A and B are shown apart, each in its own frame.
Chain A
């Protein structure tokens, strides 16, 4: 399968920890990348590779993976973390195609 599945929505209290998951066969052999998208804006890369943050991304964002599931964890969520989050990876076809997850809306309460 070339699909990546995410929970549609999750809520987290201010300052608490939230984990967003992404499931798909391709994740058994490819790392997931994670993107944050706020309304009306382009996505921003927050995690890539095994668990790497681009310059400027706070260290409260971290990534992990096990089997066919990748996770993005926000430790100590802030109000500005409220956004849509998408995972992506190469698909499992072997043809170097890319696929995005279905997206998760994170609400900070």
Chain B
């Protein structure tokens, strides 16, 4: 049973860089696409981007200028870096797996999420 676990600071100062890591347990990171999704308090879900171990990466156009995704197959982890953060980036950040086959358009496994707040 594949499980995902996000890690990273819960509090970030405005204009700084948010760094989060998602650890994949119970399966290889190399076989799937992996994604980040966020949810501001009381609001809906927003897709951030996805990455594959082959180097295929895709970003939400609204975040492209500030966003970097990376993957470390030796650690079975993938990471997010979001630069120049503001209060508008306050959200629960989830990592998720994109399914295969007919589930290839679905996020079939999710981490528990990590709340990130921005404060000076």
Q: How many residues of A contact B (CB 8 A)?
A: 26
Q: Would A30 and B105 be within 8 Å (CB), given that A97-B58, A97-B60, A103-B44 are in contact?
A: yes
Q: Would A42 and B113 be within 8 Å (CB), given that A97-B58, A97-B61, A103-B44 are in contact?
A: yes
Q: How far is the CB of A36 from chain B (nearest CB, A)?
A: 11
In the complex, B32 has a CB within 8 A of chain A: no
Q: Are A88 and B103 in contact (CB under 8 A)?
A: no
Neighbouring B residues of A31 by C-beta, 8 Å: 105
**Which of A48, A89, A95, A100 makes the CB contact (< 8 A) with B44?**
A100
Neighbouring A residues of B44 by C-beta, 8 Å: 86, 100-103
User: How far does the alpha carbon of A42 sit from the alpha carbon of B111 in the complex, in Å?
Assistant: 7
Q: Would A44 and B102 be within 8 Å (CB), given that A96-B58, A97-B58, A98-B47 are in contact?
A: no
**Which of B45, B58, B102, B107 makes the CB contact (< 8 A) with A45?**
B107
A4's nearest neighbour on chain B, judged by CB, is B44
Q: How many residues of B contact A (CB 8 A)?
A: 22
Neighbouring B residues of A42 by C-beta, 8 Å: 94, 110-113
Mark out the residues of chain B between 17 and 59 whose CB falls within 8 Å of any chain A CB in the assembled complex: 35, 37, 44-47, 50, 58
**Which of A49, A95, A97 makes the CB contact (< 8 A) with B47?**
A97
In the complex, B106 has a CB within 8 A of chain A: yes
Per-position contact with B for A31-58: 1 when CB-CB < 8 Å, else 0? 1010100000011110011101010000
Q: Are B58 and A100 in contact (CB under 8 A)?
A: no
Binding site for B on A (CB under 8 A): 30-31, 33, 35, 42-45, 48-50, 52, 54, 86, 88-90, 95-103
CB pairs A–B below 8 angstroms (26 shown): A30-B105, A35-B45, A35-B107, A42-B110, A42-B112, A44-B110, A45-B99, A48-B102, A48-B103, A48-B105, A48-B106, A49-B102, A49-B103, A54-B108, A86-B44, A86-B45, A88-B45, A88-B105, A88-B106, A97-B58, A98-B105, A100-B45, A101-B44, A102-B44, A103-B44, A103-B45
